[in-house]
Structure 1
Amino acid sequence: MDTSPAGPGPAFRGGEAEGSLAPVERRLRLSMMSGVLALAVLVLAIKAVAWWLTGSRGLFSDAIESVANVVTGGFAVFTAWWAGRPPDASHPYGHGRLEEFSAGFEGLVLFLAGIGIVREALPHLVDPAPLVRLEDGIGLALVAGALNGVVGTALVLRGRRLGAPVLTGEGVHLLSDTLTTAGVVVGLVLVRATGMPWIDTLVALLVGAAILASGVRLLAAAGRRLLDRQEAPLIGRLAAALERRRRPERIEIHLLRARRTGAVVMVDFHLTLPRYWSLERVHEEQHELATELIEELGEPAEILVHPDPCTPALCARCAVEPCPVRAAPATVRETWDPSRLVGHRAPDEPDACLMAQREASRRVSEARAGSRAARK
């Protein structure tokens, strides 16, 4: 019997064999983003007409946001097409990371639009122009807001279900547009009731500030994902799934890591198994656990399991019976909570594989630095 530990297991992928989204889902994403772009063009036309009829600075700021919607909507259509492509030789992890750039691009466009609106509206706060045909402008704004509200809500719900930041970002953007349109309408109603046109300019400044803040939030969220910041909710879901699928033979899990690449969740962790198992049995256990974890997540994922052999130090935490190599009775059962799974096997027992890789990297780095210094 082969008792040597296995190397890192293959990445197990949900969805198609290529690890990408199913063709139906890819087409759905693309059609949704194309619909968003068409909606953005229609809403922009409605708001532009409303601004042209009334001369309202508030409606002008709302129309500028719709210009941003058209620009980012066009990029989002390209993103939905490109990010859904299967992995290839040049992009073995797939193309989903482009979705993070798309969300960041949208945030940048909103940020710049907000600054432009504030800059344009400030002079009119002191010398506001009279407004005309307010009833027509209010009616058109309400139609535009209703369209954005319905589509934005649908996109947010769909994006969260698919784990697609490009869809969620577009949905949040449209809902933000709906709220700002509502604010503009309230401002126009107040102008009509009071005869004070400066209220409209004040609303335009508030709209610009809101758009700017929305852009900052989207930029920050995209930055966190691009920097692979650990998502606490995702780690919590993974820990709960691993706890539910726990077996005595799955002695211990450590160094759990996860990130998203578009709609695909990338997960890797170290799994401690009995050291007397054969390579074939270790591989079967890796495959089974990875498949179970994808089913628990309920979304496309790639799971990389690194098997580690058990050591005598783990006997107290191991419930495998009968065990031909047990050195001590089982006395402890730890809960697989997130804080436990993301760390090393034990506080005083850093992972040997990881430490060996880091030590090798350190030596290589020192050798390269020495070589550069010698050439100088």
Structure 2
Amino acid sequence: MPNQLNKKKNLRIQAFAVAVGFGLLVVKFSAWLITGSNAILSDALESVINVLAGLVALFSIYYASRPRDSDHLYGHGKMEFISSGFEGTLILVAGLIIIGKAVYNFVFPHEIEALGTGILLTAAAGLVNFLLAWMLIRQGRAGHSPAMEADGKHLLSDGFSTLGMLIGLLLIWFTGKLWIDNIVALMFGLLLLRMGYKVLRSALAGILDETDRELVEGFMKVLRQHRKDDWIDIHNFRIIKFGGQLHVDCHLTLPWYYSIEEGHRVVDEIEQLVNSEMNRQVELFIHVDPCLESSCAICAKADCEVRRHPIVKRMDWTTDEVLKNSRHGSPDNK
């Protein structure tokens, strides 16, 4: 139920963000029409990207919240990463357009008018942008929505860009040097290229299931804190992200003499622990391995009646160790 409430809240906030973004777009284009400033046009074009990206994010959050079906057995959460990738591509395109426009106006200069009015309108829009970005990032993290968090980071970068642009416009206001407008636009375009790359890179990492070492360490911290002596070893640990949901595969080594019922009890205990402590929806598939004679060297189970060798050292469940695809203490991984 909490997960479902998060999804509904994500949808409401994203819809609100799109509506506000459309209003900001109107304000920024009005400022550009009044002044003719390339820097303000750059900011206005970025608002077009914001609205388009917000709409795509809204759809992806809705689509990703749909329950799994026979055609999508892991659910629809990957749609959020596709949305983030689309947003990153739009940002890259906007950056290229802005750089092209700035270079053009270096060759063919133009006048800027009513700069004071443009500065006031852009400053007001920038403040709203910062507040909206803060809200989206906060809810995106709380609701585990990659698309919403990406949209918030996009708006935050846009807000900082607007701040830098305002500094440039103020320099034009005080110095009267119009070429500063094109310099600011160029810097803004380069910043967009960098931001677009980062958003696209993050989206591809989610689509291609790149290892999130920080997330793996979060799981290991929970398991280390609640570790039982009969949890001998964890290896082949894998995490797949589906939007705000996680699917985890791993191998767990237990005493070889445990019954299927005892092994199932341990798996259930770990699954409940992880879902409780990680504060998000986690689907956990654990393959249980029986311990080997070589496992005695890393086994801390003091009451084991069939131990063949003394313990040498309890295995530290570090990120590097649990990602290995072989059990520890075995002949192929001492």
TM range (shorter): over 0.9
The change in CA–CA distance for 1:183 and 1:322 in structure 2 (over 3 A counts) is: closer
User: Quick check: 1:190 aligned with 2:171?
Assistant: yes
Deviation at 1:307, TM superposition (A): 0.5
**Alignment of 1:106 onto 2:82:** no
Q: State how 1:140-155 maps to structure 2 within 5 Å.
A: 140-155=121-136
**Whole-Å separation in 1 of the counterparts to 2:81 and 2:329:** 35
Letter aligned with residue 60 of structure 1: L
Q: Segments of 4+ in structure 1 off by > 6 A?
A: none
Residue pair 2:6, 2:143 contacting (<8 A) in 1 also: no
Match of 2:275 in 1: 294
Task: Describe the superposition over 1:30-88 as per-residue Cα deviations: whole angstroms up to 9, x where unpaired.
Answer: 11111111111101000000000011111111110011111111111111100111111
Determine if the alignment matches structure 1 residue 346 to structure 2 residue 328: yes
1:96 maps to 77
Query: Number of residue pairs matched?
Result: 332
Q: 1:117 to 1:347 in 2, by over 3 A?
A: farther
Match of 1:218 in 2: 199
Q: Which has the higher contact order (CA 8 A, sep 6+)?
A: 1
Tell me by how many angstroms 1:250 deviates.
Answer: 1.0
Aligned to 1:57: 38
Measure the CA separation in 2 of the matches of 1:261 and 1:57: 40
Amino acid at match of 1:229: E
Q: Which residue does the alignment assign to 1:164?
A: 145
CA distance in 2, matches of 1:109, 1:169: 13
Give the aligned residue type for 1:312: E
Aligned residues of 1:128 and 1:201 also touching (Cα < 8 A) = no
| In structure 1, distance between residues paired with 2:252 and 2:323 | 12
Shift of 1:162: 2.9
**Match in the other structure for 1:29:** 10
Tell me the TM-score normalized by structure 1.
0.85
Indicate yes or no: 2:320 matched with 1:336: no
- Residue 77 of structure 2 contacts residue 243 of structure 2 at CA under 8 Å; is this kept in 1? yes
Deviates more, 1:331-340 or 1:30-39: 331-340
Task: Give the counterpart of 2:237 among 223, 248, 256.
Answer: 256
Which structure: larger Rg?
1
Q: CA deviation at 1:323?
A: 2.4
Report if the CA contact (8 A) 1:48-1:60 is conserved: yes
Please state how far the C-alpha of 1:156 moved relative to its aligned partner.
1.2
Identity rate, percent:
35
Structure 2 segments unaligned to the other structure (5+ residues):
none
Q: 1:86 to 1:349 in 2, by over 3 A?
A: farther
In 1, the alpha carbon distance for the partners of 2:8 and 2:145 equals 14
SS in 2 for 1:47: helix
**2:64 corresponds to:** 83
Q: How far apart in 2 are the matches of 1:93 and 1:290?
A: 17
Provide the alpha-carbon RMSD of the alignment: 1.6
State the partner residue of 2:104: 123
1:348 Cα offset (Å): 5.7
Aligned equivalents of 1:166 and 1:342: distance in 2? 27
Give a deviation string over 1:302-342, Cα, whole Å, max 9, x none.
11111011111112222224323222233322222122211
TM-score by length of 2: 0.95
Deviations 1:251-299, CA, capped at 9 Å, x for gaps: 1111111132100122111111111111111111111111112222121
Structure 1: state its 5+ residue gaps.
1-15, 352-376
